[in-house]
Structure 1
Amino acid sequence: MEPRLPDPHPFGPLLHALMANRQNTVHDLARGAGLSTSTVHGLRSSGRRPHPDLIKHLAEALGVPAADLAAIAGVSDEDYLDP
């Protein structure tokens, strides 16, 4: 039996939906968040959990509270604290 891969993190589809709702292109969001377009593309498609610092930049660019975006994405600063 092959090992089961973890489910992708749901942030990519969430970000895609928020961008579509606000009619933001990848370029628009990258520019507004101070990120590269490749970073935004990666966040939309990688299936990985974004770092809280990225959440803060994206939330500002999307015009949503960072705490709300982090909660919806299931991301918290505690996830990145060293044990």
Structure 2
Amino acid sequence: MVLQRDMPIPVWGKAEAGATITVEFANSEKSTVVGSNGKWRIDLAALKASFEPRAMVVSSSVKQEVIQILDIVVGDVWICSGQSNM
């Protein structure tokens, strides 16, 4: 996965209302409480470009659930379309 450099990094999802969600990435950690609608969002600070693969860990206080996303780098994200000779 490539995350856009120099821009805040939004991470969001759904979980059990009232649970505490913690996101760890690039030596930083942020937490939030899930709203009554089951939705949550955390905005991580902007990062400089780095080709070093990192892991993001998202954990919930309910049922001790953990999601780990590996091989994330920070850089430029490009979306291109056009002819096959592009």
TM-score normalised by the chain length of structure 2: 0.29
Larger relative helix fraction: 1
Structure with max Cα Rg: 2
